[in-house]
């Protein structure tokens, strides 16, 4: 149900009506044995409902003896979603996992509507 604040719609629901579901795999540090960290692991999946996914840059590799392409996406998640900088995600319509790039950005209140914004997460992977 939408209300109007200064002519702009604000929604009482925290979920986007037409959003997609993203699978989140949380990073779990490997167990330390004899002073050496074991391999990293990822728990999950945790389902993030009501997200929007936007395509990002496609980068080709110009390194010798390497033929590949980097693919990036931006995820716009609902408020309150917690994503770590080493987590991984699976996007609808894409095979394999994408790694979170850097720290997610948490938006505060929208200065025009007073509504709560969400979380922006940059993800990507290199194929090849």
Interatomic CA distance for residues 70 and 63, integer angstroms: 13
According to the model, what pLDDT value does residue 17 have? Answer: 67
Which has the higher per-residue pLDDT, 8 or 70?
70
Closest of 113, 116, 117 to residue 7, by C-alpha? 113
Residue 82 has pLDDT above 80, yes or no: yes
Q: What is the pLDDT of residues 3-20, one digit of tens each?
A: 444 444 444 445 556 789
CATH number at residue 78: 2.40.10
Pairing of strands 98-100, 88-90: antiparallel
* Cα Rg of the chain (Å, integer): 18
- Number of domains making up the chain: 1
Q: State pLDDT tens for residues 22-40.
A: 999 998 876 777 777 777 7
**Per-range mean pLDDT, top range of 2-6, 72-76, 111-115:** 72-76
Predicted model pTM? 0.74
| 108 falls within a domain | yes
Number of CB atoms found within 10 A of residue 102's CB: 9
Is the residue at 6 inside a domain? no
Domain membership of residue 2 (yes or no) is no
């Amino acid at each position: 149900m939408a209300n109007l604040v200064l002519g702009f719609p604000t929604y009482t629901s925290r979920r986007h009506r037409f959003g997609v579901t993203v699978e989140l795999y949380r990073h779990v540090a490997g167990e330390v044995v004899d002073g050496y960290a074991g391999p990293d692991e990822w728990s999950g999946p945790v389902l993030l409902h009501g997200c929007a996914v936007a395509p990002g840059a496609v980068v080709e590799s110009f390194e010798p003896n390497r033929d590949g392409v980097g693919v990036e996406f931006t995820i716009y998640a609902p408020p309150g979603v917690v994503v770590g900088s080493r987590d991984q995600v699976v996007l609808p319509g894409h095979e394999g996992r994408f790694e979170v790039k850097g720290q997610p950005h948490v938006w505060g209140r929208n200065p025009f509507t007073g509504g709560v914004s969400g979380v922006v997460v940059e993800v990507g992977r290199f194929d090849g």
